[in-house]
Copies of this chain bind each other. A is one copy, B any other.
Amino acid sequence: METLKGKISREIGTPALVVDLDAAARNIARTQAICDAKGIANRPHIKTHKSVLLAKMQRDAGAKGITCQKIGEAEAMAEGGLDDIFISYNLLGEEKMARLAALMGKARMSVAADNPLVVEHLATAAAMAGRDLFVLVECDTGRKRAGVETPAEAIALARKIAETPGLVFDGLMMYPPEDGAAFTNAFLSEVHAGLKESGLAARVISSGGTPNLLTLGSIEGQTEHRAGTSIFNDRMMMAAGFASLEECALRIYTTVVSRGGAERGILDAGSKVFTTDTGWGLKGYGFILEHPEAEVARFAEEHGFLDLARCNDRPKVGDVLTVIPNHICPVVNVVGSLVLTRGNEIIEHIDVEARGKLT
């Protein structure tokens, strides 16, 4: 019987991004179960997979809605039938407000804001749509990504939202670091007190991140969680202690196209496939299932350079290898083409709808 690797190589060619649909379904169910156990709604971030088909698998498993990071992602998802979408990003500008207004006619839209200008722009979208827009105040509780930096700013922005016609203050969102629960709870406690004084309340408390699923429940009053990576997992999620090798549902199949010197090997996938994120103390850029002691050491745009110094059994030219990349989200974004498999079978080869959306 021909192996899956043989079929991929013969029918699809390498490099290929290969999804094990059964493993992805198990990952979806696992995230849903973690959320269910804590009574927290699951609102997965589709930035990881960018696919309507996979978003619907998440919805059908129990997700309350989805999270997007761009208007273009939300448009692709709404077009595909997803009807409860949170854009966890500051949106600004006339062109985006017109698109947001159009989206409000297709789905229940909520958005984040961390400054007054964004709130003013969002009001124009609500006016164009002639509907209420739900707005969450983004709070920076330690990661230093985006978000207001003090409870006082959060309270002031919530008041501004509540006072703006067409906008509904819907709650608070944050993306705390993995050790950020205590700081987040202290921050939120101050915000809640200030909101109460103003006669306001945060209906939604939204946190995010796949590693934060491990400590879900530690943020007081959390009502929703946005995890992206947990549908596929990757080398970083293995390093973070969230996922096992078997739980890495998306793998890059790549061919050794040259050996270079005795201790080198060259893959047909470089930085334009693997991308170059590092973190969690990882060395190199991928875990090679067939040669765990080999290192994906560096890249040219279309070449991946293997350091084989520690390998006894070295791959030869023509070998197809199976690699788990460091960070799966940017890989799917750049490639946008997924081979869906089940067991030994290729089910479908799809282009994901929200791949590489610029705006």
Contact = CB atoms under 8 A, between A and B. Distances in A.
Contacts of A273: 358
Nearest to A271: B330
A95 B146 contact: no
B334 A257 contact: no
Contacts of A260: 140, 144, 146-147, 149
Contacts of A117: 317-318
A257 B258 CA distance: 45
A13 B318 contact: no
A115 interface: yes
B356 A356 contact: yes
A190 interface: no
A333 interface: yes
Contact of A302 (B89, B140, B257): B89
A185 interface: no
Interface stretch (A4-12, A54-62, A158-166, A194-202): A4-12
B334 A356 contact: yes
A95 B11 contact: yes
Interface stretch (A28-36, A126-134, A261-269): A261-269
A79 interface: no
A64 interface: no
Given A272-B333, A334-B333, A358-B335, A95 B12 contact: yes
A345 interface: no
Contact of A317 (B69, B89, B94, B118): B118
Interface in A228-267: 255, 257-261, 264, 266
A95 B9 CA distance: 7
Given A12-B95, A96-B13, A333-B272, A258 B90 contact: yes
Contacts of A317: 92, 115, 117-118
B334 A302 contact: no
What does DSSP make chain A's interface, helix, strand, loop or mixed? loop
A49 interface: no
B358 A337 contact: yes
Contacts of A359: 12-16
B336 A15 contact: no
Given A273-B358, A275-B275, A359-B13, A264 B335 contact: no
A43 interface: no
Nearest to A88: B302
A114 interface: yes
A335 B336 CA distance: 11
A272 B335 CA distance: 12
A277 interface: yes
A22 interface: no
A358 B275 contact: no
A127 to B, nearest CB: 18
Given A14-B359, A358-B335, A149 B261 contact: yes
Interface string A75-118: 00000000000000111111110000000000000000011011
Interface in A298-355: 300-303, 305, 317-318, 329-330, 333-337, 355
Given A271-B330, A275-B276, A337-B358, 5 more contacts: A47-B301, A89-B257, A146-B257, A149-B261, A335-B356
12 contacts: A12-B95, A14-B93, A15-B359, A89-B257, A92-B257, A92-B268, A146-B303, A271-B330, A272-B330, A301-B329, A337-B358, A356-B356
